[in-house]
Amino acid sequence: MDDCIFCKIVKGDIPSYKVYEDEYCFAFLDVQPISRYHTLVVPKKHYENLYDVPEDVYQQVMKATKNVVDMYRDKLGIVNTQLFNNSGPLTLQTVFHFHMHVVPRTEEDKHQFKLDVRSELVSEFPEMIKKLG
């Protein structure tokens, strides 16, 4: 895709700090990091989000993600990592090229990524399950 920043990074048209590359994927440091070594793992081919990416490509991205995590453990001693993906504008996805975030965590930033628990939703579980049919 001609206007996709991640496609341009993969092609080398935009410089990046590459940490890993294989035949299918490219991983680089996020320029808006939320921790040291915050990394994005992207497929080399363009897919908009999790709903668009084929299963085999998703598996390649997850394999590359695991390789990055293992490299950080082996070379840097990082043993606390968050993985996440945002798919769709309501999830704060801003670059519409499927990607996984690898976010190493240390004592200095362990509580910066917060998720608010909504306990009131538990009472809706029976109806939620029913809708799944």
- Rounded to whole angstroms, the Cα distance separating 86 from 106 reads 22
Give the contacts of 27 (CB within 8 A, at least 6 positions apart). 18, 19, 20, 21, 39, 40, 41, 42, 64, 65, 68, 102
Catalytic residue, chosen from 38, 46, 97, 99, is 99
Contact 3, 66 (CB under 8 A): no
For residue 99, indicate whether it is catalytic: yes
Contact 17, 38 (CB under 8 A): no
Give the residue numbers marked as catalytic: 99
